[in-house]
Structure 1
Amino acid sequence: MPNQYQYVKVFAPASVANVSCGFDVMGLALDHPGDEVVARRTEEPGIQITRVTGENGVLPTSVSENTAGVAVRALLGHLGSDVGIELEVHKKMPLGSGLGSSAASSVGAVVAVNRLLGLPCTSDELLTFAAEGERVACGTPHLDNVAPSLFGGFVFIRSREPQDVIGLDCSKPLFATVVHPQIEIRTEDTRKILRRNIPLQKAVTQWGNIGGLVAGLLKGDYELISRSMQDVIIEPIRSVLIPSFAEVKEAALDAGALGSGISGSGPSIFALSRDNETATAVGKVMQHEYEEIGLDNEVYISPINKEGPRILEEVQL
């Protein structure tokens, strides 16, 4: 029987949803940044969120309003358990950044509590509970951030209901560059501006790019990955909300990136490269474009995280 724990601390990675052409059906996990969640047993039944750092004063500590709390409540409801759980959420990335901040907190919380209780749930079950955190964050339990954060690597979401998520193990190394301009864009706002009717030819082009990107990842074909990272439906609409988007993307491609696009709903912009050296050079030119217009920004250079969450500390019962 798996060990049970008194205290567990988990790191859950940030993620890039959509990966250009794969709106709501693709995502990848970053090695950093990410959130840290602490779960500990208490004598008093029920869930408490005792501490939020990094975005304190912004994120609620109410269980019904916090993504980590909602996700753990769904987990305990599934188990029919009233065990006492105390949570701490340590935000290590900005809110509204397009890096899956709410998803990382949800994933970290369910992984920590599941380990605390002796691993009663499968990863697929944990995905369902973590998605409930996304529901409270943006109104929809979509999986393109929680799935890569939980499973690691690239993921393809064939279906949300019923849940059908496939890992895409790329045989070649890939490195991500993400630049976050210091503005906030709310996911629910960016979804409201999307068109509900799409011309057939654009839909066909997008389907082809999604298939090409999946095939390129599985084959380890850099050229196929590069020419498939084209979004003809979502990016043209959302990019108008991001200052200097076209210039930043063009600079990334000129510096050797395989492809570049909006990370999730933005405002962060990501790029994929063959190696760390190129990814670093790409980050410098992307930052330079924002420095030219006087917009503060952060840059993250990261290999693709193939492992998902990590246990940082634990204390057995």
Structure 2
Amino acid sequence: MKKVTAFAPATVANVSCGFDILGFAVEELGDRVTVTFSEEPGLKVTKIEGDQGRLPYDVDKNTCSVAVKAMLEKLDFQGGIEIHLTKGLPLGSGMGSSAASSVAALEATNRLLGNPLDKKDLLPFAMIAEGVACGAPHADNVAPSLLGGFVLVRSYDPLDVTKLHVPNGLYCTLVHPHFELNTADSRSVLRQQVPLKDAIIQSGNIAGLVAGLFQEDMGLISRSLQDVIAEPSRAVLIPGYEEIKEAIKEAGALGCGISGSGPTTFILSPSREIAHKVSDISQEVFNKMGLEVDLYVSAVNIRGAYVINEE
């Protein structure tokens, strides 16, 4: 092999109550990365598409190359590799844009080198790239993008990540207003200390959500989709969020939350039909506000990142 192309999906992180510890992958939306052996030693980003010229080619600043560089150093690889990134996700969207780029790059590079690492072993390199992208090496985007499905980050030190059960029929609607919200800015508004009462509520909701997933108890999932830590500070930064939260109540959706750091809102539904219904409702909300919005309906992607082509 001389060239490998891989795809990594968009993700929803936090999932309301699971700040920095819960995330899931969605279908179809994502980034593609092609990596190629080069006769010239070293790592280079040679082409970036779909970013409107905004992403850096500097290997120490681009999330693709940061992740791959860390991996190559671990493997003591001395050859040359070139990276071609095709963005399918908007920047600053709350859909794991930086995570999808680094994960696709790692998946492609690992295959190019003959799969020297297990898939789960790629995760720390993607987290290094997340630290560069948004100031915090969190795993709730990169883990589901890499592994697929719902993922729980039980611990960061030592890193302990596990996949959760995905109930039959669970669908997600993503509502992405044409508005960019920088992750670092969104994290800056968060409280650094949490009252004991809020910590107890949040812990109960996390446990309830995990139990609801395994038991396929849609009612328990719905009751657990409450965030008393991040959402109160972040909701004011997101156009249309409160209006959507109110509008979907009677439509049969399980609930909604801020996807990652926003501005995308995710809505979980117990069926594809309801997911499309709340998509239409969300469109009406933004029509009344006079704001443009992109809408996506997807099942939970249990596959994660994968190789598209190799030659």
- TM-score scaled to structure 1, two decimals? 0.96
Give 1:112's aligned amino acid.
A
Q: Shift of the alpha carbon at 1:130?
A: 0.9
| 1:47 and 2:40 matched | no
**Alignment partners' CA distance in 2, 1:221 and 1:83:** 51
Aligned pair partner of 2:201 in 182, 202, 205: 205
TM-fit CA distance, 1:94: 0.5
2:100 corresponds to which residue? Answer: 104
* DSSP-derived class of the 1:254 partner: coil
Aligned to 2:270: 274
Contact in 2 for aligned 1:20/1:230 (Cα 8 Å) = yes
The answer for the alignment partner of 2:281 in structure 1 is 285
Paired-residue identity, %? 52
Which residue matches 1:237?
233
- Superposed CA RMSD: 0.9
What amino acid maps onto 1:303 in structure 2?
A: A
1:23 corresponds to 2:19: yes
Q: Kindly provide the amino acid, as one letter, of the partner of residue 242 in structure 2.
A: A
Select 1:38's aligned residue among 26, 34, 41: 34
Matched residue SS, 2:248 = helix
CA distance in 2, matches of 1:306, 1:300: 17
Paired position in structure 1 for 2:173: 177
1:73 alignment partner in structure 2: 69
Equivalent position of 1:13 in the other structure? 9
Q: Which residue in 2 is equivalent to 1:297?
A: 293
Cα offset, 1:244, TM superposition: 2.3
Give aligned pairs, total: 311
1:172, distance to aligned residue in structure 2 (A): 2.2
- Matched with 2:118 is 122
Three-state SS of the structure 2 residue aligned to 1:13 is strand
Report the residue type matching 1:153 in the other structure: G
Letter in 1 for 2:163: G
Alpha-carbon distance in 2 for matches of 1:265, 1:299? 17
- Distance apart, 1:310 and its partner CA: 2.3
Kindly indicate whether the alpha-carbon contact (under 8 Å) linking 1:32 and 1:300 is maintained by their aligned counterparts in 2: no
Q: Take 2:52 and 2:242, find their aligned partners in 1: how far apart are those partners? A: 34
Is contact 1:42–1:85 with CA below 8 Å preserved after alignment? yes
Give 2:75's aligned amino acid: L
Structure 2 contact 169–272 (Cα < 8 Å) conserved: no
Secondary structure at the aligned position of 2:122 is classed as helix
Instruction: Supply the distance in 2 between the matched residues of 1:171 and 1:202 (Cα, whole angstroms).
Output: 28
Structure 1: gaps of 5 or more residues: none
Could you say which residue in structure 1 is the equivalent of 2:158? 162
* Alpha-carbon distance in structure 2 between the residues aligned to 1:254 and 1:95: 32
Contact map agreement 1:39 1:86 (CA 8 A) in 2:
yes
- Identify unmatched segments of 5+ residues in structure 2: none
Instruction: Work out whether residues 252 and 283 of structure 1, in 8 Å CA contact, stay in contact via their aligned partners in 2.
Output: no
Distance 1:56 1:84, change over 3 A: farther
Matching residue within 165, 187, 193 for 2:189? 193
Q: Secondary structure at the match of 2:287?
A: helix
